Amino acid sequence: MAATTGTAPAVQPLDRQAMLKEAGATGLVIFALAFGLLGFRTLDVPGGIDIQYRFGDVAAAVVIGILGRIALILLREHRPLPVLLTTAPLAVVLLVMLLAKFLFGPETGAELMRFLPFESLVVMWAILIVIVVLALRAARSQTHIASEMTVEDRDARMDRIGAKVQRAARRLGPVLLGIAIIFPFLPFADRRLLDIGILVVTYIMLGWGLNIVVGLAGLLDLGYVAFYAVGAYSFALLATGLDVSFWVALPFAGLMAASAGVLLGFPVLRLRGDYLAIVTLGFGEMIRIILLNWYEFTNGPDGISGIPRPSFFGLAVFKRSVTEGHTFHEMFGLQFTPIHRIIFMFYLILALALVVNLFTMRIRKLPVGRAWEALREDETACRSLGINPRNTKLTAFGIGAMFAGFAGSFFATRQGFISPESFVFTESAVILAIVVLGGFGSQIGVVIAAVLLIGLPEFFRELQQYRMLAFGMAMVLIMLWRPAGLLAHREPTIRLFGKGAAKEAEP
Amino acid sequence: MSAETAIAEGATSPDLLGPIPGGGEAQLTVEHLTMRFGGLVAIDDVSFQAADARITAIIGPNGAGKTTVFNCLTGFYKPTVGRLALHHPKGEFLLERIEGFRTAQAAGVARTFQNIRLFPRMTVLENLIVAQHNKLMRASGYTVLGLFGLKRYREAEEKAVELARYWLDRTLLTKAADQEAGNLPYGDQRRLEVARAMCTEPVLLCLDEPAAGLNPRESQVLNELLLFIRDEHKMGILLIEHDMSVVMGISDHIVVLDYGRKISDGTPEQVRNDPAVIRAYLGEDEEDEPAGETAAGPESAAREGEERDA
Amino acid sequence: MQNTFAYFLDQLINGLTLGSIYGLIAIGYTMVYGIIGMINFAHGEIFMIGAFISIITFLILGLAGITWVPLALLIVLIAAMVFTSIYGWALERVAYRPLRGSPRLAALITAIGMSIFLQNYVQLLQSARNKPMQPVISGGVEVMRDGDYVVSLGFMQGIIIVLTIVLMVIFSLMIARTTLGRAQRACEQDRDMAALIGVNVDRTISLTFVIGATLASVAGMMFLLYYGVIDFFIGFLAGIKAFTAAVLGGIGSLPGAMLGGLLIGLIEAFWSGYFTVEYKDVAAFSILVLVLIFRPSGLLGKPDIEKV
């Protein structure tokens, strides 16, 4: 975070001593941070734990930290050339080493890999990305004598990008939807890809649902997964216990989740934002504990299995053969294949997600949607205008919970089995990360973020273990860089002069 | 209902006897208003009346309890003691019994804030539409009908835009209608807050230092706006203000508070010549100098002093 | 058995021990809240890191052959305090300081992000498994005997309670007597004014985080000694409970945090002893909600008046 000045940079003599001092301090802090937890690894051995040393890694971390700090100082002091000259070749070398196994075959690849400081490929890739970013920044300030941007400039620029993305989304939206609709019939869409597709769309739906609560109403809900769980369990219990069909149980599960939201929200929504956050965090955990321990009702940690699959709108079922009623493939004269059901599932979640999206776009232009946004901006002012803050927040909370409940029902019927394992805090965190990364209130942002955060790790297994680490870091970095969220841009819900006039007015 | 009948109905304070300075029918009757926070007495037994279609200013040094009076009137605080009766076309409202958002919703008391409180990331027009929330909520069938795009709601929204447009024109903000409120110049934000309060279609308008931070020209525009609201809309306005040019220029009636007590009450002429007011502002009593006095205090007091000499 | 006084006494001792741990963590929440008005969600993770540094130090000492318990304890205590406090410092410096003055939601999300990051950082470096440790201190004093039922105050429990009291005394004196304490109280009341009269606000806030982290690291070490097993996830629940303690005592109030911690510990112990162990965490959460509804300013906190 370099100092921000509006004027053109004047290159001043470099204070080497101060620079080394600063870099040394960074190295010292990194050493202290890394020494305990990175330097020693507790190993699980029979009968206790043992310890393993990784001082090499600590040294590598310290060196990288010092060099990185020096690079940042040089950039800050407008001396990009040395940074560029070191980082660019380094980036190339690192890239070649990482790709060696594709370029020169596996043996040479493995040989070269041994020179890398960290074992993990992901860490090395992360370091590569940092180096590339440094190189790009250096290259930029080498060619542009531009002054550094202020925070406001940056925010305005990101807002324009966000606006562009949203405008493009309006045109691209139908195209994307079209792709999503023909997706199951594309030649490469095998079962695995379809499953990933279903997962991604589920998270898109959850992201859109949470976006109502966090993005529009500005209420930080850290226990969103609790409503997802309530929906899933309501659905599962209804479907297995009372034999209620999917199409009846679905709205009921949504209703249950909404009631849970209202019940929790009623006492706590008048509290300040951070209290609400921790109460919802606690609530998410408590729901999980109750699900774990209430054996008679939830079957405890064993979960509920044998949840029936949805039928084709009650007309036919996705089975090879049935004793009564119709099967889907006979009805349409097709060959039986289990993929029919998967495709149906995909369309089902797509439809549910679209309902959430349409709902959100509509409600933003209604009084209650505007009141949510107004409450996010200034609750005191809202009260002075006669807006009931509690009820307004409750609707946001309840509606968000309802959509989570729908998604939960879908999850239950897709898996056929649910247990408390699926509803841990991590899930809430993932959904929140999607919303934050996408930008509060940005519908297309959620789609992009869900594809990146859910789709990619599904493809690249090694990324999985670093997933949450990266999510946490991304949340912090985005908030530091642009507190409104990466692609956040707010389109007015109503205009006096229409769109054309607005564009003219803009410089 | 006249001021006399209001008193006859059970007013006990001698402050409320006689006609309201500056004329007009009583719209707001404040009796024995007291507000304590723990051991601190912020307002101590204050009674006054404010008239319909008149501008009533509440002035006093910093910390005199002016904003606290506003907070009691607008439902932000529940007064410890006191009767706050508002004469409303629908009947009489006892404001001390109404709390929170209901004061604005049911009794029609609108207010602005000392530190501007707009919805900065919403547009100017949206700010004014949000102000018409309750009306639009009903028209949208509490959201349900609105979701299906019913005609009734669309018409109501158009009407709301018309009202917003009316106030935009009056506050000279029409051109900025589609801009983010937070990006407006300071003076425009002040006027927008007044416009937003007016869009709630109130019966009583409470303005907390609307001229603070305005330059003389902006101040003049604001004065004209307030006089327009008073004269054309026959609206009672309650005003807290430090800027004496505004207070003396447009008020019909002035109530002076000091240390939570009412020390003077009358027309601008009467208040200007009241020795108690001059004492409060100049702090003649050496031991008893008001704490945290700002530049506005002595300055305006000095001006008053000159006027008295003249 | 559940009806005897001995059983009651046993729960009381457990509750006080547990309460000491919660209290020490709660102080960190309450101090940070007092000075910058935000909930440091990552504070539970700092506690967890303290526990991990403690277990690593114990293992190293074991390998180095230092087995005299008092010395080992002292070294572990110092190591945990030093290394954990750097995490506290870095947390504030990297994540919170740049966000001072930005919207509340942004600061909250940063704190959550930091909490997720630290949790997974430790999980990645130290694996997700439970980390058990042989008991270091065993034995105790028999307090009471009721038939076959022996109530004893373990040396460990004794150490935890005494150490907590000692730390609390030192800490209270520090806040009341030293320049740092004065600077801290000044920043709590009005940060801009404090800066004007020459208080180094940045340093004061940094030190607040360092102190909070130090106390949390001691709590982490105690947790390790008491339960004998830790994992990367312990900071989550302990964090929620300690926060509950801070709210119960009145957030912003230091004696409140300690009192709240003791109460939460006692409630949890008695709940487990007399009702069900499974729902002890639900009890803590219910208390949080009840306090927030009926007495948001807590037991010892000052009610805050909304300024309009």
Measured between CB atoms, which of A218, A279, A469 is closest to C288? A279
Last residue in a domain, options A83, A112, A145: A145
The answer for residues whose C-beta is within 8 angstroms of residue A379's C-beta and 6 or more apart is A389
CA distance, residue A269 to nearest chain B CA (Å): 15
pLDDT band, residue B309 (cuts 50/70/90):
very low
Is the residue at C182 inside a domain? no
CA distance, residue B100 to nearest chain A CA (Å): 6
- In this predicted model, what pLDDT tens digit does every residue of B31-44 receive, in sequence order? 888 888 878 888 88
CA distance B48 to B254: 10
Residue whose token pair is 């958002």: B101
Measured between CB atoms, which of A367, A371, A495 is closest to B178? A495
Mean pLDDT along residues B205-223: 87
Mean pLDDT along residues B87-104: 79
Is the residue at C208 inside a domain? yes
pLDDT for residue A145 is more than 80:
no
Measured between CB atoms, which of B104, B137, B177 is closest to A368? B137
CA distance, residue B19 to nearest chain A CA (Å): 31
pLDDT for residue A151 is more than 90:
no
Contact A233, A291 (CB under 8 A): yes
Is the residue at C188 inside a domain? no
Q: What are the chain A neighbours of C103 within 8 Å (beta carbons)?
A: 483
Residue C180 to residues A315, A481, C172, C205, C253, Cα–Cα distance (Å): 74, 32, 12, 10, 17
Is the residue at C118 inside a domain? yes
Same domain, residue pair A30 and A172 = no
The answer for residues whose C-beta is within 8 angstroms of residue A47's C-beta and 6 or more apart is none
Ordered structural domains, chain B, with CATH = 3-108+204-309 (3.40.50.300), 115-201 (3.40.50.300)
Same domain, residue pair A169 and A124 = no
Q: What is the number of domains present in chain A? A: 2
Tokens of A281: 């965090």
- CB burial of residue C145 (10 Å; 0-12, 13-18, 19+): exposed
> Do the strands A326-327 and A316-317 form a parallel or antiparallel pair, or are they unpaired?
parallel
Which pLDDT belongs to residue A160? 79
- In this predicted model, what pLDDT tens digit does every residue of B226-272 receive, in sequence order? 888 888 888 888 888 888 878 888 888 888 888 888 888 888 888 88
Is the residue at C180 inside a domain? no
Cα dihedral value A327, A329, A332, A333, nearest 10: -120
Is the residue at A188 inside a domain? yes
Q: Which chains touch A (3 or more CB pairs under 8 A)?
A: B, C
Is the residue at A368 inside a domain? yes
Same domain, residue pair A73 and A126 = yes
Same domain, residue pair A267 and A357 = yes
pLDDT band, residue B289 (cuts 50/70/90):
very low
Is the residue at A152 inside a domain? no
Residue whose token pair is 């649902």: A209
Three-state SS at B212 = coil
Q: If you count residue pairs, one on B and one on C, with CB atoms under 8 Å apart, how many are there?
A: 8
Residue C228 region, left (φ>0) first, then alpha (ψ -120 to 50), else beta?
left
Q: What share of chain A has pLDDT > 70, as a percent? A: 87
What was the ipTM of the complex prediction? 0.85
CA distance B145 to B150: 6
Residue B18 region, left (φ>0) first, then alpha (ψ -120 to 50), else beta?
left
Which pLDDT belongs to residue A320? 65
pLDDT for residue B24 is more than 80:
no
Q: What is the number of domains present in chain C? A: 1
Q: Which chains touch B (3 or more CB pairs under 8 A)?
A: A, C
- The residues with which C132 forms a beta bridge, in sequence order, are C229
Q: What is the CATH number of the domain that holds C236?
A: 1.10.3470
Residue type, A43: L
Contact B270, B251 (CB under 8 A): no
CA-based nearest residue in chain A for residue B154: A366
CA distance A421 to A419: 5
Q: What are the chain B neighbours of A495 within 8 Å (beta carbons)?
A: 123, 125, 177-178
Interface contact A382-B101, CB threshold 8 A: yes
Mean pLDDT (chain A, rounded): 81
CA-based nearest residue in chain A for residue B116: A381
The 3-state secondary structure of C197-238, one letter per residue: CCCCHHHHHHHHHHHHHHHHHHHHHHHHHHHCEECCCHHHHH
Which residue range forms the structural domain that includes residue A245?
A: 164-500
Interface contact C308-B71, CB threshold 8 A: yes
CA distance, residue C303 to nearest chain B CA (Å): 10
Interface test with A, best of C39, C60, C91, C109 (most A CBs within 10 A): C109
Same domain, residue pair A269 and A240 = yes
Q: What is the CATH number of the domain that holds A403?
A: 1.10.3470
- In this predicted model, what pLDDT tens digit does every residue of B115-170 receive, in sequence order? 889 998 899 999 999 988 888 887 776 766 666 767 778 888 888 888 999 999 88
CA distance, residue C36 to nearest chain B CA (Å): 22
Interface contact C90-A222, CB threshold 8 A: no
Q: What are the chain A neighbours of B192 within 8 Å (beta carbons)?
A: none
- The residues with which A418 forms a beta bridge, in sequence order, are A304
CA distance, residue C298 to nearest chain B CA (Å): 16
Kindly report the backbone phi and psi dihedral angles of residue C107, in degrees, each rounded to the nearest multiple of 5, phi listed first: -65, -40
Which pLDDT belongs to residue A141? 73
pLDDT for residue A315 is more than 70:
no
Interface contact A387-B100, CB threshold 8 A: no
Q: What are the chain C neighbours of A429 within 8 Å (beta carbons)?
A: 112, 116
- Give the number of C-alpha atoms closer than 13 A to the C-alpha of residue A218, restricted to the C-beta side: 24
Interface contact B113-C308, CB threshold 8 A: yes
Same domain, residue pair A340 and A377 = yes
Same domain, residue pair A314 and A439 = yes
Element at B263 (helix H, strand E): strand B261-266
pLDDT for residue A9 is more than 60:
no
Interface contact A381-B117, CB threshold 8 A: yes
Interface contact B113-A380, CB threshold 8 A: yes
Which residue range forms the structural domain that includes residue C153?
A: 5-170+200-294
CA distance C236 to A263: 24
Is the residue at A153 inside a domain? no
Q: At what angle do helices A425-438 and A224-241 cross, to 10 degrees?
A: 120
Which pLDDT belongs to residue C130? 84
Q: Considering only CA atoms, which of C20, C69, C60 is closest in space to residue C168?
A: C20
Interface contact A472-C117, CB threshold 8 A: yes
CA distance, residue A365 to nearest chain B CA (Å): 9
Is the residue at A9 inside a domain? no
CA distance, residue C83 to nearest chain B CA (Å): 43
CA-based nearest residue in chain B for residue C302: B38
Contact A96, A116 (CB under 8 A): no
Measured between CB atoms, which of A385, A496, A505 is closest to B165? A496
Mean pLDDT along residues A295-324: 74
pLDDT for residue B286 is more than 50:
no
pLDDT band, residue A128 (cuts 50/70/90):
confident
Higher pLDDT, C171 or A272: C171
- pLDDT averaged per 10 residues in sequence order, chain C, 308 residues: 76 90 92 86 94 91 83 91 93 88 82 91 85 79 74 83 89 82 81 82 90 93 90 89 89 87 91 82 83 81 66
Rg (CA), chain C: 20
Q: C residues 268-307 near B, CB within 8 Å?
A: 305-306
pLDDT band, residue A504 (cuts 50/70/90):
very low
Interface contact B76-A395, CB threshold 8 A: no
Is the residue at A155 inside a domain? no
Q: What share of chain B has pLDDT > 70, as a percent? A: 83
Is the residue at A3 inside a domain? no
Interface contact B71-C305, CB threshold 8 A: no
Same domain, residue pair A226 and A118 = no
Same domain, residue pair A128 and A195 = no
Measured between CB atoms, which of A366, A492, A502 is closest to B146? A366
Interface contact C308-B37, CB threshold 8 A: no
Is the residue at C160 inside a domain? yes
Residue C36 to residues A452, B171, B245, C191, C199, Cα–Cα distance (Å): 35, 39, 40, 9, 15
Is the residue at C192 inside a domain? no
CA distance, residue C298 to nearest chain A CA (Å): 13
Measured between CB atoms, which of A366, A385, A494 is closest to B143? A366
A 10 A CB-CB count for A447 gives 24
Give chain C's count of helices (H) and strands (E): 11, 4
A 10 A CB-CB count for B308 gives 12
Three-state SS at A494 = coil
Q: What are the chain B neighbours of C308 within 8 Å (beta carbons)?
A: 67, 70-71, 76, 113-114
Is the residue at C68 inside a domain? yes
- CB burial of residue C192 (10 Å; 0-12, 13-18, 19+): exposed
Could you give the angle at the alpha carbon of A470 between the alpha carbons of A467 and A475, nearest 5°? 125
Same domain, residue pair A190 and A300 = yes
Same domain, residue pair A84 and A210 = no
Same domain, residue pair A341 and A391 = yes
| Residue C105 touches partner B, C-beta closer than 8 Å | no
